[in-house]
């Protein structure tokens, strides 16, 4: 099996484009949902893994009591740099860390949160086991993952459009990684394999993705995710063409302004 190492690289201009275009497009609604679920457990110490540019971190800093300690981590320092530059409503601790080997003692946190990051972990049961290790008994692990790509309309259209430019070797990052971990039986099995004896609760949550123009989703996915690296690896000179082709495909299906598409994800919670 090919090692798609670039799937985890969010560097260069990607963090800024990701934060500007992708966060409001698909992440904001799910950040609010995840924060509400975590707040209901009244945690004193929260760890966020794969925090990205901090959309959940900002939501938690707005909602959780001032006395709640929030530690936000990500593998990519460039994403954390963008997150810390954006700032939060109150102080949080930003720290570069690999979710596969968390630099915290056993039982350090009341809750661990991960928004759309689990799909990137190379060994998911091992990552879940590491989360379980840093949770106190009774602590909660809450995370979400995207449902299949066909249930996420803009993403699906972009993937098909970009594939038309490289038919012999279509870039498949979006289908392979963000939308490649959607089978609920597999998710439940991996959580159990990570040592959680309690059964995971899995809810499928449908939202709407909205953008002012058809160009915004095209820029978000083609230039603000590792799909960009896949396009540039094939022909860096065709990045603009890929973005324009994706924008035109979105316009054909959804219109050119004030567009609206379905997004869908699974939200998983489990108690240690």
pLDDT 10s digits, 135-163: 999 999 999 999 999 999 999 999 999 99
pLDDT beyond 90 at 188: yes
pLDDT of residue 15: 86
pLDDT of residue 10: 61
pLDDT beyond 50 at 230: yes
Contacts of 45 (CB under 8 A, 6+ apart): 68, 69, 71, 108, 109, 110, 111
In this prediction, residue 4 has a pLDDT band, given cuts at 50, 70 and 90, of low
In this prediction, residue 14 has a pLDDT band, given cuts at 50, 70 and 90, of confident
In this prediction, residue 13 has a pLDDT band, given cuts at 50, 70 and 90, of confident
pLDDT of residue 258: 98
pLDDT of residue 11: 54
Q: What is d(CA 79, CA 10) in angstroms, rounded to the nearest whole number? A: 7
**Two structure tokens written together for 88:** 């939060």
pLDDT 10s digits, 40-83: 999 999 999 999 999 999 999 999 999 999 999 999 999 999 99
pLDDT beyond 60 at 9: no
pLDDT of residue 7: 47
Percent of the chain past pLDDT 70, that is, above it, reads 96
Average pLDDT over residues 202-208: 98
Best CA proximity match to 221, nearest among 31, 77, 20, 74: 20
Average pLDDT over residues 168-192: 97
**Two structure tokens written together for 152:** 């996420």
pLDDT 10s digits, 60-72: 999 999 999 999 9
pLDDT beyond 50 at 2: no
Best CA proximity match to 254, nearest among 146, 147, 161, 116: 161
Report all structural domains of the chain as residue ranges with CATH numbers, in order of start: 5-271 (3.40.50.150)
Best CA proximity match to 223, nearest among 61, 7, 22: 22
């Amino acid at each position: 099996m090919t090692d798609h190492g670039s799937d985890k690289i969010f560097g260069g201009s990607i963090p800024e484009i990701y934060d500007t275009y992708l966060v409001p497009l698909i992440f904001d609604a799910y950040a609010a949902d995840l924060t509400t679920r975590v707040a209901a457990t009244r945690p004193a110490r929260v760890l966020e893994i794969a925090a990205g540019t901090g959309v959940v971190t900002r939501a938690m800093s707005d909602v959780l009591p001032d006395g709640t300690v929030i530690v936000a981590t990500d593998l990519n320092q460039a994403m954390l740099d963008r997150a810390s530059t954006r700032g939060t409503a109150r102080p949080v601790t930003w720290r570069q860390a690999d979710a596969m080997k968390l630099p915290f003692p056993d039982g350090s946190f009341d809750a661990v949160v991960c928004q759309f990051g689990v799909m990137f972990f190379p060994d998911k049961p091992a990552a879940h086991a590491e989360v379980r290790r840093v949770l106190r008994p009774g602590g909660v692990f809450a995370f979400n993952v995207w449902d299949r790509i066909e249930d996420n309309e803009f993403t699906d259209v972009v993937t098909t459009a970009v594939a038309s430019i490289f038919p012999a070797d279509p870039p498949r990052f979006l289908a392979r990684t963000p939308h490649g971990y959607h089978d609920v039986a597999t998710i439940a099995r991996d959580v159990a394999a990570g040592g959680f004896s309690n059964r995971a609760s899995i809810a499928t949550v449908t939202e709407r993705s909205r953008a002012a123009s058809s160009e915004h989703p095209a820029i978000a996915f083609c230039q603000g995710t590792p799909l960009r690296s896949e396009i540039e690896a094939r022909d860096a000179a065709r990045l603009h063409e890929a973005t324009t082709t994706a924008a035109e495909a979105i316009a054909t299906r959804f219109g050119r302004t004030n567009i609206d598409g379905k997004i869908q994800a699974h939200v998983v919670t489990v108690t240690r």
